[in-house]
């Protein structure tokens, strides 16, 4: 059992009224709130250690460099990555995917090649590939959904051709919360020698991730969805790609030597980290990992899973509610609609009761087209959410349904 | 009635609810039912107002020197908001529509919907109604 009160004390933002009601924050899929330890780590960094990193001879610069590199180690350890240089700091998931796409476009992806995605990808794992495909006569192939909105893994095999160069797929659907069966994806990918990019934006906040065990080529996630600050995330590269991914975003810090004729780039993570990085962000990211470690990621998963099952059960009892992707195998997210009502109306009225939800297409318009809906209402949980909050939400959801009908 | 007179009338209606926001929203939803609905064949993509999370279609015409608006929306709170705007601005001279400050929105407690971060597009609706009036009075 977790001590809910002790955890909630770490999140002062939750202690406020919205429109006279206690704030209930069910928009964690968009961004989670930050514990005091994370906020303090950033504030302390600027108060005591701020300086530009690498190449500094003075003490403060060394301190900042050590903090930055220590953060990389903390994060590498958390994801069980052997060599911390395989963890590259980026601005977040979107930035990471763009870095991979632009790198692969240099010499790996060729005219007419194919990339496989899933129907429930977030736009940020579609657009960089689509842009490449449009400019290079490439093709995107899409894994379809089954009736229950889970992926049709059987048809994945049929999508593979000798032109397939990458499978880019999310580990957890940000809209539906469904967990992708990675083993099935990997077995097909490995059999055909196709690299896999795994989008962990929605999985990393909820479940344990062991990158040695997962054994994918690329893994990406954002700190701000896992109790860390905005503006920082990571790109994990397998040993092979750490050596082979071409630089696509050059700049200060990425080099060994520069002449006007030729530049020799650095080895390891620095190669992909141009300019002054988000140092305070990296420190905050590591503090967020410390927070997760302190609570325990399995406890976080179990707690959120209990909330999902509880909420899903209660919602199913309301005849007007349609829950999408109604599976037991889910991580932290429930998408639903009220029959005959627009998600915007439901979200607007829930907000009046202090309940923060997200409405719309959740940056998954192709999924919305597949489900033939305009959008959904999405509730998504974090460690600080409670069953009492769900009870209040259910009570007010019923009231909203009455108001709208 | 002038724009100001209609605004006053609407303010008085909403004042009856005092702090009861549920009542206000229920009234707004009811007002949506009075919206002069745009003809089905006019519900084309070029009449959709951009910036709305729900779809809003607006048609503007100049009849006998006055603006006549018909509209529809697929979300009912949005429909209520369009209905309020249409009630105030329809059957008014285009130059009066362009000048209207619409401060009443704040007074009736719907100010939060005027924030640009709100995806409902109340601001876009007002802009569209005004630019249509501007182009039709030339």
**Contact (CB<8Å) B120/A349:** no
CATH for A53: 3.40.640.10
Range of the domain at A370: 4-30+297-404
Place of tokens 């999408």: A324
Confidence of residue A315 (pLDDT cuts 50, 70, 90): very high
Place of tokens 């080099």: A255
What is the arithmetic mean of pLDDT over A255-272?
A: 92
* Domain final residue, candidates A262, A294, A326: A294
Element (H, E) at A35: none
Are A100 and A157 in the same domain?
A: yes
pLDDT score for B138: 66
CA nearest to B75 within chain A: A342
For residue B53, pLDDT over 90 is answered with no
**Contact (CB<8Å) A403/B21:** no
Are A173 and A188 in the same domain?
A: yes
In whole angstroms, give the CA distance from residue A217 to residue A243: 12
Q: For A16-30, A311-325, B117-131, which range has the lowest pLDDT when averaged over its residues?
A: B117-131
Are A61 and A77 in the same domain?
A: yes
In whole angstroms, give the CA distance from residue A308 to residue A289: 23
Are A336 and A257 in the same domain?
A: no
For residue A201, pLDDT over 70 is answered with yes
Instruction: Pull the structure tokens for residue A54.
Output: 């690498």
For residue B106, pLDDT over 60 is answered with yes
CB < 8 Å to B22, chain A: 352, 403
Q: Count Cβ atoms below 10 Å from residue A175 Cβ, excluding itself.
A: 30
* A211 CB-near residues (< 8 Å, 6+ apart): A79, A80, A81, A86, A219, A236
Are A282 and A187 in the same domain?
A: yes
What is the arithmetic mean of pLDDT over B25-29?
A: 93
For residue B119, pLDDT over 70 is answered with no
CA nearest to B78 within chain A: A345
Are A380 and A243 in the same domain?
A: no
Residue A258 pairs with which residues in a beta bridge? A263
Q: Provide the shortest C-alpha distance from residue A347 to chain B (in Å).
A: 11
Kindly report the backbone phi and psi dihedral angles of residue A112, in degrees, each rounded to the nearest multiple of 5, phi listed first.
85, 0
**pLDDT, chain A, mean:** 96
Q: What is the pTM of this model?
A: 0.93
pLDDT score for B118: 56
CATH for A376: 3.90.1150.10
For residue A380, pLDDT over 80 is answered with yes
For residue A306, pLDDT over 70 is answered with yes
For residue A367, pLDDT over 80 is answered with yes
pLDDT score for A252: 87
Are A56 and A192 in the same domain?
A: yes
For residue A51, pLDDT over 90 is answered with yes
Assess contact for A310 and A387: CB atoms under 8 A.
yes
Are A219 and A362 in the same domain?
A: no
DSSP three-state, residue A88:
strand
pLDDT score for B111: 74
**Contact (CB<8Å) A360/B53:** yes
Percentage of residues of chain A with pLDDT beyond 90: 95
Q: Report which of residues A92 and B50 the model is more confident about.
A: A92
Bridging pattern class, strands A255-258 and A263-265: antiparallel
**Contact (CB<8Å) A348/B29:** no
Are A139 and A165 in the same domain?
A: yes
Confidence of residue A335 (pLDDT cuts 50, 70, 90): very high
* Domain final residue, candidates A252, A275, A294: A294
pLDDT score for B19: 86
pLDDT score for B114: 65
What is the arithmetic mean of pLDDT over B41-69?
A: 90
CB < 8 Å to B25, chain A: 349, 352, 403
* Domain final residue, candidates A272, A294, A316: A294
What is the arithmetic mean of pLDDT over A253-281?
A: 93
Are A252 and A364 in the same domain?
A: no
What is the arithmetic mean of pLDDT over A329-348?
A: 95
Q: For A77-81, B124-128, B129-133, which range has the lowest pLDDT when averaged over its residues?
A: B124-128
Selected residues 371-390 of chain A with any CB under 8 Å from a CB in chain B = 374-375
Q: Provide the shortest C-alpha distance from residue A254 to chain B (in Å).
A: 38
What is the arithmetic mean of pLDDT over A158-179?
A: 97
Which entry of B31, B38, B52, B81 is annotated as an active-site residue? B52
Q: What is the dihedral of CA A86, A92, A93, A94, to 10 degrees?
A: -120
Confidence of residue A14 (pLDDT cuts 50, 70, 90): very high
Give the catalytic positions of A in this structure: 363
Are A205 and A353 in the same domain?
A: no
Q: How many CB pairs under 8 A join A and B?
A: 41
Are A269 and A341 in the same domain?
A: no
Number of domains within chain A:
2
Q: Provide the shortest C-alpha distance from residue B52 to chain A (in Å).
A: 10
What is the arithmetic mean of pLDDT over A138-143?
A: 98
Does the interface ipTM go beyond 0.85? yes
**Contact (CB<8Å) B25/A403:** yes
What is the arithmetic mean of pLDDT over A347-370?
A: 95
Q: Provide the shortest C-alpha distance from residue A20 to chain B (in Å).
A: 11
**Which of A179, A186, A188, A242 is closest to A216 using CA atoms?**
A186
* A319 CB-near residues (< 8 Å, 6+ apart): none
**Contact (CB<8Å) B76/A404:** yes
**Contact (CB<8Å) B29/A403:** yes
**Contact (CB<8Å) B55/A19:** no
pLDDT score for B117: 58
pLDDT score for A166: 98
In whole angstroms, give the CA distance from residue A20 to residue A141: 49
Which residues in B have their CB inside 8 Å of a CB on A?
21-22, 25-26, 29, 53-55, 74-78, 119-120
pLDDT score for B116: 61
Assess contact for A80 and A142: CB atoms under 8 A.
no
**Contact (CB<8Å) A349/B77:** yes
Tell whether A359 lies on the interface with B, counting CB pairs under 8 A: yes
Residue among A348, A354, A356, A395 with most chain B CBs within 10 A, to mutate: A348
Percentage of residues of chain B with pLDDT beyond 70: 93
**Contact (CB<8Å) A348/B120:** yes
Residue among A21, A343, A344 with most chain B CBs within 10 A, to mutate: A344
Cα angle vertex A128, ends A122, A129, to 5°? 90
Q: Domains (ranges, CATH) in chain B?
A: 3-136 (3.90.1010.10)
Tell whether A398 lies on the interface with B, counting CB pairs under 8 A: no
């Amino acid at each position: 059992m977790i001590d809910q009160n002790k955890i909630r004390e770490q999140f002062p933002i939750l202690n406020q009224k919205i429109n006279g009601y206690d704030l209930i924050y069910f928009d964690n899929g968009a961004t989670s709130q930050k514990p005091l330890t994370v906020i303090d780590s950033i504030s302390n960094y600027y108060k005591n250690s701020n300086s530009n990193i690498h190449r500094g001879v003075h003490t403060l610069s060394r301190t900042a460099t050590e903090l930055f590199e220590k953060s990389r180690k903390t994060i590498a350890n958390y994801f069980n990555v052997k060599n911390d240089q395989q963890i590259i700091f980026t601005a977040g998931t979107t930035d990471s995917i763009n870095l991979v796409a632009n790198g692969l476009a240099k010499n790996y992806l060729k005219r007419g090649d194919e990339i496989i995605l899933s129907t429930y990808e977030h736009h940020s794992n579609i657009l960089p590939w689509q842009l490449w495909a449009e400019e290079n006569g490439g093709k995107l192939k899409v894994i379809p959904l089954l009736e229950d909105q889970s992926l049709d893994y059987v048809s994945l095999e049929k999508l593979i051709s000798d032109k397939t160069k990458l499978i880019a797929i999310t580990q957890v659907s940000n809209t539906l919360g469904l967990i992708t069966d990675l083993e099935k994806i990997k077995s097909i990918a490995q059999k055909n020698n196709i690299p896999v990019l795994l989008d962990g934006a929605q999985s990393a906040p909820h479940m344990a991730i062991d990158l040695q065990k997962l054994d994918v080529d690329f893994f990406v996630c954002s700190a701000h969805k896992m109790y860390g600050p905005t503006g920082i995330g990571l790109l994990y590269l397998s040993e092979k790609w750490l050596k082979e991914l071409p630089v696509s975003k050059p700049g200060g810090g990425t080099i060994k030597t520069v002449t006007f004729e030729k530049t020799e780039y650095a080895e390891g993570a620095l190669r992909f980290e141009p300019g002054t990085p988000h140092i305070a962000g990296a420190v905050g990211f590591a503090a967020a990992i410390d927070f997760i470690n302190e609570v325990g990621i399995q406890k976080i998963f179990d707690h959120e899973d209990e909330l999902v099952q509880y909420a899903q059960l209660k919602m199913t009892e309301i005849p007007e509610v349609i829950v999408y992707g109604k599976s037991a195998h889910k991580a932290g997210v429930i998408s639903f609609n009220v029959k005959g009502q627009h998600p915007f109306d439901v979200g607007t009225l829930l907000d009046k009761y202090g309940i923060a939800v997200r409405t719309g297409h959740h940056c998954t318009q192709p999924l919305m087209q597949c489900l033939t809906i305009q959008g959904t209402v999405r509730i998504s949980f974090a460690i600080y959410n409670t069953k009492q909050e769900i009870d209040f939400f259910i009570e007010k959801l019923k009231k909203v349904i009455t108001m709208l009908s | 009635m002038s724009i100001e007179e209609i605004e006053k009338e609407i303010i008085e209606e909403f004042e009856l609810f005092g702090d009861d926001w549920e009542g206000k929203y229920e009234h707004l939803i009811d007002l949506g039912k009075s919206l002069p609905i745009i003809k089905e064949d006019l519900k084309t993509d070029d009449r959709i107002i951009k910036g709305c999370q729900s779809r809003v279609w607006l048609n503007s015409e100049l009849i006998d020197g006055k603006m006549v608006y018909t509209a529809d929306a697929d979300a009912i709170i949005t429909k209520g908001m369009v209905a309020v705007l249409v009630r105030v601005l329809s059957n008014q001279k285009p130059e009066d529509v362009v000048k209207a400050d619409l401060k009443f929105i704040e007074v009736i407690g719907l100010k939060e919907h005027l924030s640009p971060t709100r995806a409902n597009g109340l601001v876009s609706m007002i802009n569209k109604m005004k630019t249509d009036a501007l182009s039709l009075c030339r």
